[in-house]
Amino acid sequence: MTGIIDSFDWPFVIFAAMLMAASVGATVLTDALLRQRRERAEQYRRLFGALTNMNQGLCMFDAQGRLVVWNERYREMYGIAPDRIAVGCSVPDLLSARIAAGTFPLDAGRYDAELRGALKSGKAFVKNVELADGRCVAVVNQPIDGGGWVATHEDVTERVHADRALAQTRAFLDAVISNVPTPVIVKSLPDMRYLLINKEAEKFLGLKADEVVGKTAHQIMDAAMADRVHAQDKALLEAGREVVSEEHVAIAPNGEAHIMTSRRLPVMGADGKPQYLIIVLHDLTDRRRNEERISYLARHDPITDLPNRAAFNECLNGAFDLANKSAESFALLCMDVDRFKAINDTFGSAAGDKVLKQLGARLQEACEGAFVARIGGDEFCVISPTGQQPQTADALAARLREAISADFEIDRQPVSVGLTIGIAIYPSDASDAAALLANAEAALFRAKLERRGTVRYFEPEMDQQLREKRALQHDLRQALQNDELELYYQPQADMDGTITGFEALARWHHPRHGMVPPGTFIPLAEESGLIIPLGEWILRTACKEAASWPRPLRIAVNLSPVQFQQGDLANLIHETLFNCSLPAGRLEIEITEGVLIGDFSRAVAALRRIKNMGVRIAMDDFGTGYSSLSYLQSFPFDKIKIDQVFIANLLNSPPSAAIVRAVIGLGQGLGLPVIAEGVETREQRDFLATAACNGIQGYLIGRPQPIAHYAQVVGRQARPVVRLAVSN
């Protein structure tokens, strides 16, 4: 730096001396000396030009901190007024000039003190200053020999902005990589040391980044796993391209096992050789667990944890294949749980589920390895092992019945159930899976009809009955399409015989079998799902008929529990009443407690919607169920109908008479009308009148007939109100 100082100290002095010598002749200059001084002057001129054209601003200060030299770039950078800068200015003077120009955003006193402190210790004073207009200036104050210093001011705005953008981009990329929802690992090559791992990689390894970075696989993993990782990394080096690993089990450093695949990608350096290794791990553990769980749930019952119908069908087909190959026999047992409905009705569905869970565990233990499945509701099936039949099936059925003989405990209260079992044997009873299942179900059906709690084997005549049942279901479907069904109407009356309305009853005139009883085809319709279109047809037909009567008598329609489980029944009733122009108060819906069993909340919600329309709701067959009394508390019924089984024995059975009186008294206490079904004799009517029953229905008033039979009653012919003759 002394050369620069000399250049700035002497040129003007030498040039002035030359002028003085030429004018006064005080000294005669030799050619050599003159040439030397001209060269010095040219050197100054060039240096001055260089300083003037520098991109950086420059200032030079002497040992006393006075300004000696500056260039125009310095003044322009900070907008210093020409009259505010001159040889001899101090640092505070220059800072004051910059403050006036608005180009010094710092504390001047502190800046000057820090500058002098650094120079005094012989250190450079470096400062990056961001101006108010957004420019960034890098200032370097470098001390020189002999005292003083040189200050350079460089506009680094673009570089700073680029650095900031780069830093932001780097931070963004770091954030992205860190939060990629799959493990990402970067290694240096060829030493294969970890350079970077993201958060998911930390979770996978069970280690923090600072525990991994800078180390090799052998330093953080057990030897076997590290050898495998090293081999995979080496395979990439040899291939020089992306390498994908097959699905495999990996043991992380924390000991956890993972099901995974991996992708290894090389990053080439300037020499064309792999410099970095990027590893992307695909952890399939949770996915596989979820898939296994879904698969398990798809094949198992959620309450008992036993295999479900789908798994049962697969196992049954497999049992057939095995038996065919080994020429052995096996049995299929279909079971219903006796008294389970009573538990559900009395204690609720949650208690019923607890019984099913305990029941499933007992059955599975009793099966001793035989396949047992819950195929729906309270129905279970067991596929016996191959062996001598029926001995093997007998022993299995005995164990199953013994397993459930002990009471179950529900909320510290003992309850008991039983098993009714139907058995079919391969190959004597069927040659394929579907037939074997159907025959076992037929045997179960026969056992339930004859006596609950028994075991029945399939017999050939059962197959004929099953075939007839299926044929009848098919015919019923055709009957709905071919309009073979019609409605009969049975009158309902007050105790004095005044007819107040009719109950609509479906009748089926089969083209071959004649009149099919409702007790036969209604259960078939419910079982097959035909009750939905059948029930809709009954409702629409009955309402349309009632709307045509001159007398505003009520019409009662029975609804099946199945109708409440499917579709929007309340909306169907609303549309029917609207389309038929029938006032809601003339329609009475009759339900049994079966409607409320199962999804109680849904059934009650539907009933409330129906009742809010003005439709009356009657509980039918009261007294035959398990929870009739509790349901009267749950919903505001409009009528109670006493089941005809009690009326039939009314005069001969004191218990039946007591039940009838109790029901009538209950209705009076609740303010509900009570109507007795199945009234056929005057003696029955007189008993009911004495007990203060409100109404009657039965052959004494009228049999179910086509409505034409009751044309005068409904007002289609002028006639006084029909009354029952009650005189003796």
Q: Would you list the DSSP string of 389-424?
A: TTHHHHHHHHHHHHHT-SPEEETTEEE--EEEEEEE
pLDDT-based confidence at residue 540 (cuts at 50, 70, 90): very high
Query: Model-level pTM?
Result: 0.46
- 3-state SS, residue 229: helix
Say if residue 86 is in the same domain as residue 211: no
Lowest mean pLDDT among 339-353, 447-461, 494-508: 339-353
CATH number at residue 453: 3.30.70.270
Whether the per-residue pLDDT at 61 is higher than 70: the answer is yes
What pLDDT is recorded for position 265? 84
Range in 22-26, 114-118, 217-221, 237-241 the model is least confident about: 22-26
| Measured distance CA(708)–CA(106) in Å, rounded | 110
Domain end (from 288, 323, 338): 288
User: Whole domain around residue 655: which residue ranges?
Assistant: 471-710
Question: Quick one: pLDDT at residue 597?
Answer: 67
Residue 17: pLDDT band by 50, 70, 90 thresholds?
very low
pLDDT above 90 for 231: no
Q: Do 660 and 557 fall into the same domain? A: yes
Tell me: pLDDT of 680 over 60: yes
Mean pLDDT of 280-305: 79
- 150, 119: one domain: yes
- Strands in 371-376's sheet, in edge-to-edge order, are 371-376, 379-383, 330-338, 418-426, 455-457
Are 335 and 263 found together in one domain? no
**Do the beta carbons of residue 277 and residue 186 sit within 8 Å?**
yes
CATH number, domain containing residue 605: 3.20.20.450
Q: Is residue 109 located within the same domain as residue 245? A: no
Q: Where are the beta strands (DSSP E) in 269-386?
A: 274-283, 330-338, 371-376, 379-383
Q: Which of 9-13, 477-481, 523-527, 707-711 has the highest mean pLDDT?
A: 707-711
Give the pLDDT confidence of 149-207 residue by residue, as tens digits: 999 999 999 888 888 888 888 788 777 777 777 888 888 888 889 888 888 888 878 88
Q: How many domains does the chain have?
A: 4
Task: For residues 410 and 271, state if they share a domain.
Answer: no
User: Do 616 and 686 lie in a common domain?
Assistant: yes
End-to-end CA distance of the chain: 147
Same domain assignment for residues 196 and 149? no
- With beta carbons less than 8 A apart as the criterion, state whether 714 and 550 touch: yes
The number of angstroms, rounded, from the C-alpha of 441 to the middle of its chain's C-alpha atoms is: 37
Q: Which is more confident, 642 or 350?
A: 642
Average pLDDT, the chain: 84
**Angle between helices 531-547 and 460-482 in degrees, nearest 10:** 40
pLDDT, position 249: 76
Among 458, 483, 517, residue at a domain's last position: 458
Query: Rounded distance, CA 645 to CA 680, Å?
Result: 12
Reading the block at residue 527, the tokens are 């079982």
Q: Is the dihedral of CA 30, 32, 34, 37 positive or negative?
A: negative
Tell whether 149 and 38 lie within a shared domain: yes
SS3 state at 98? helix
CA angle 196, 197, 199 (to 5 degrees): 145
Q: Which of the two residues, 553 and 251, has the higher pLDDT score?
A: 553
Which range is least confidently modeled, 214-218, 289-293, 333-337, 591-595? 289-293
Q: What is the DSSP letter of 696?
A: E
Residue-wise pLDDT for 588-637, tens only, equals 999 987 787 656 778 888 899 999 999 999 988 776 654 456 667 778 88
Written as six digits, the tokens of 272 are: 């064309």
| In the predicted structure, residue 39 carries a pLDDT above the cut 90 | no
**Angle, nearest 10°, between helix axes 654-670 and 682-690?**
50
Same domain, 488 and 409: no
Residue 415 carries which side chain, given as an amino acid letter? Answer: V
User: Could you say which of 425, 458, 491 is where a domain stops?
Assistant: 458
Q: Tell me how far CA of residue 317 lies from CA of 311, 330, 408, in angstroms.
A: 10, 12, 34
Q: For residues 309 and 366, is the Cβ–Cβ distance under 8 A? A: no
Which comes out higher in pLDDT, residue 1 or 326? Answer: 326
Same domain, 346 and 441: yes
Q: Please say if the pLDDT value at position 415 is more than 90.
A: no
Residue 87 belongs to a domain with what CATH number?
3.30.450.20
Question: 672 and 555 in one domain?
Answer: yes
Asked if residue 715 belongs to a domain, the reply is: no
